[in-house]
Amino acid sequence: MTTVKEYINLLPVIETKPARFMNAWSIGSLLFMLIWLLLLGLKAMQWRDLQTRRNSLEPQKKMLEQQLTSIREELGLTAVPGKDPETTTLIQNLLKERVLWSEVFHQFSQIIPHGVWFDSLEGSAGDTAEIRIRGGAFNYRLISDFMLGMEQSGYFVKPELLAAQKAAVQGHDVVGFDIRCGLKRP
């Protein structure tokens, strides 16, 4: 049934066209969403990789913290350096006056030739850290090799031969020596 209005309307009827599914705006927004999702996926993969690397470094971090704690206990440090400037300065001054004898013995183990022995070691850690070594060797060449190793190590300062004397001990010729040298501070 037709209405009266349809007869009276003199304007042509507007035909409705089917809406285009893909107009320019929808294509642009679809491309934007795809690029955004792609970038989001890349960032998620990077975050997962970083989490994996972080988790693998955790045991190393714990081991280093334990080593730091043991070194602080060995040095007698109770406060954490860097928290208080006065404490840090005090610790640095104490460390300047201190000689790490374990490092001295480590240096000796690196440079002492076979056939040299120590009878006594005396060390002082006053204004200038010094060490005095009394010992023996099978010959003079071994003593000179030992002193040359001390000079080349860079840890010992100006090794000086105070005395060297040949003697017979239980039918063998040995050379007794007395050496004094300074120590470099860390």
What whole-number distance in Å separates Cα of residue 64 and Cα of residue 58? 10
Q: Give domain status of residue 131, yes or no.
A: yes
Residues in the chain: 186
Q: Give domain status of residue 152, yes or no.
A: yes
pLDDT given for residue 120 in this prediction: 92
Tens of each residue's pLDDT in the chain, 186 residues: 666 666 666 666 666 666 555 677 888 889 999 999 999 999 999 999 999 999 999 999 999 999 988 887 777 666 555 567 777 777 766 666 667 778 888 888 999 999 999 999 998 877 778 899 999 999 999 999 999 999 998 889 899 999 999 988 888 889 999 999 988 865
Q: Give domain status of residue 9, yes or no.
A: no
Q: Give domain status of residue 114, yes or no.
A: yes
Asked if 149 and 170 count as a contact pair (C-beta separation under 8 A), the reply is no
DSSP the chain: ---HHHHH--SPPPPPPPPPSS-HHHHHHHHHHHHHHHHHHHHHHHHHHHHHHHHHHHHHHHHHHHHHHHHHHHHT--SPTTS-HHHHHHHHHHHHH---HHHHHHHHHHHPPTTEEEEEEEEEESSSEEEEEEEEESSHHHHHHHHHHHHHHSSEEEEEEEEEEEEEETTEEEEEEEEEEEE---
How many separate domains does the chain show?
1
CATH number at residue 103: 3.30.1360.100
**Domain range holding 168?**
99-183
Q: Give domain status of residue 124, yes or no.
A: yes
